[in-house]
Amino acid sequence: MRTPLLAANWKMHKTVPEAVAFVTAFAPRVAAVTDADIVLAPPFTTLGAVADACRDTRIAVAGQNLHWAPEGAFTGEISPGMLAGAGASHVILGHSERRQLFGEDDALVARKTRAAIDAGLTPIVCVGETLDQREAGKTPAVLARQIDGSLAGVTPAELAALVVAYEPVWAIGTGRTATPDQAQDAHAHIRRCLAGLGGADAADACRLLYGGSVKPANAEAIAGQADVDGALVGGASLDPASFAEIVAAARRAAG
């Protein structure tokens, strides 16, 4: 039985006071939640403050990216150890905005995944097809290539412990969500790809999140699909009441 996981991807939003105010409002709303894991991924500048604010809660904190090297002359970059030291336990890797806007490819994501695992961070590795790829019938091939490439070199035990997020690019920030059936089809395919990579047991244990215009109104139907183990939420995670409603919806779906 996989524990549902709800992750908030704040992207480039919130100053330190805004981030702390979010936690102050959000934490009491989920204080009684023990049957789902909750992760907040704030920008680097607020990560320490968010981790401090979450210290006596079950809410975990994630980076949105990292550099694979432990340290060095990489101006503007943040290492896995720096993230862990600031209080992060998870890290989002290979988000489509990183892939599309910052030129990240599967090989780089694999390198970052290895570095994250070696630093004790749980990677949330994102994959997903563009609209052109979907309309050309290439979704299964694109997802297979991204899974194989982004998770190259991961052992079965590591695979079982990490998180994969399926985020169709055409659904991110567009208000256009995959239907529950589309999400389930993609997730089942991803799980088969994971089984090819690390065996059926690891694939069965690995949590698969759906991401792309998840809101309180659609979260329960999506999270209710057999191979959907939670959500990676962008826009609707910026408001504490909205994200708390999504947590509640996913728990209803799991229960």
User: Which parts of this chain interact with ligand PGA (CB under 6 A)?
Assistant: 9, 167, 172-173, 211-214, 232-236
90 carries an active-site annotation: no
Backbone angles phi, psi at 41, to 5 degrees: -115, 90
18: annotated active-site residue: no
For ligand PGA, give the closer residue by CB, 127 or 202.
127
Going by their DSSP bridges, the two strands 37-41 and 59-63 should be labelled as parallel
CA distance linking residue 137 with residue 198, whole number of Å: 26
Say which of 97, 129, 167, 220 is annotated catalytic: 167
State phi, psi for 10 to the nearest 5 degrees.
-80, -10
Name the residue nearer to ligand PGA (CB basis): 167 or 220: 167
Please check whether residue 191 is in contact with residue 203, taking contact to mean a CB–CB distance below 8 angstroms.
Answer: yes
Looking up tokens 């994501």 gives 109
CB 127 within 8 A of CB 147: yes
- The residue among 128 and 198 lying less far from ligand PGA, judged by its C-beta, is 128
Tell the smallest beta-carbon distance from residue 118 to ligand PGA (Å).
25
Instruction: Tell me the closest approach of the beta carbon of residue 213 to ligand PGA, in angstroms.
Output: 4
Give me the least distance between CB of 126 and ligand PGA, in Å please. Answer: 7
Tell me which residue has its CB nearest to ligand PGA: 234
> Catalytic one among 90, 95, 158, 245?
95
User: Nearer Cβ to ligand PGA, position 198 or 234?
Assistant: 234
Complex with ligand PGA: residue 162 or 236, whichever CB lies closer: 236
Min dist CB 164 to ligand PGA, Å, is 13
Give the shortest CB-51-to-ligand PGA separation in angstroms: 20
The DSSP code sequence of 39-101 is EEE--HHHHHHHHHHTTTSSEEEEES---SSSSSS-TT---HHHHHHTT-SEEEES-HHHHHH
Question: 9 or 46: whose CB is closer to ligand PGA?
Answer: 9
**Residue among 243, 140, 112 at smallest CA distance from 196:** 140
What backbone torsions phi and psi does residue 150 show, to the nearest 5 degrees? -75, -25
The answer to whether 121 touches 95, Cβ cutoff 8 Å, is no
Identify each DSSP E strand in the chain by its residue range: 5-9, 37-41, 59-63, 90-93, 122-127, 163-166, 207-211, 230-233
Least Å distance between CB 122 and ligand PGA?
Answer: 16
Catalytic residues: 95, 167
